[in-house]
Amino acid sequence: MLHCNMNTPNSIQLVLEDLLAELHHARRNKDLGRLALLAYCEVRSWARQAGKADIAEWATRMFTENPCVSKDEFLAKVDTLIAALERHAQSPAATPAPFGHAEGPPSSHAPL
């Protein structure tokens, strides 16, 4: 993977685009295991490299503080995560709203 070369903004953006493609593919196929792996491992790794601590924390809390009790709840959280990542992909130079604000996913403490 590109982790060792992810220090430039362009490479961070390319990794995000690849990650989004993988998330969309897994979501389209309802591959829950792959979605869990991508959300917990790859999204958190990308977010830390990109300096997006809010996304990394939300992805962590998605599994540790409020684990989903149904498939639909999990898919809704994944959809929220994908939407937040897409906002970052569309405006990499701009500073998007923090993850927990009105445009971002709801707090992990609130039910989806």
Note whether residue 112 is domain-resident: no
Residue 64: give the domain boundaries.
Answer: 17-90
Note whether residue 64 is domain-resident: yes
Residues 1-11 have pLDDT tens digits of 444 555 678 88
Residue 96 has pLDDT above 80, yes or no: no
Residues 68-79 have pLDDT tens digits of 889 999 999 999
Note whether residue 10 is domain-resident: no
Note whether residue 82 is domain-resident: yes
Note whether residue 6 is domain-resident: no
Segment 104-112 shows an average pLDDT of: 41
Cβ atoms of 80 and 105 within 8 Å: the answer is yes
pLDDT of residue 4: 53
Note whether residue 25 is domain-resident: yes
The total number of structural domains in the chain stands at: 1
Residue 88 has pLDDT above 90, yes or no: no
Quick check: pTM over 0.85?
Answer: no
**Which residues are within 8 A (CB) of 76 and not within 5 positions of it... i.e. 6 or more apart?**
112
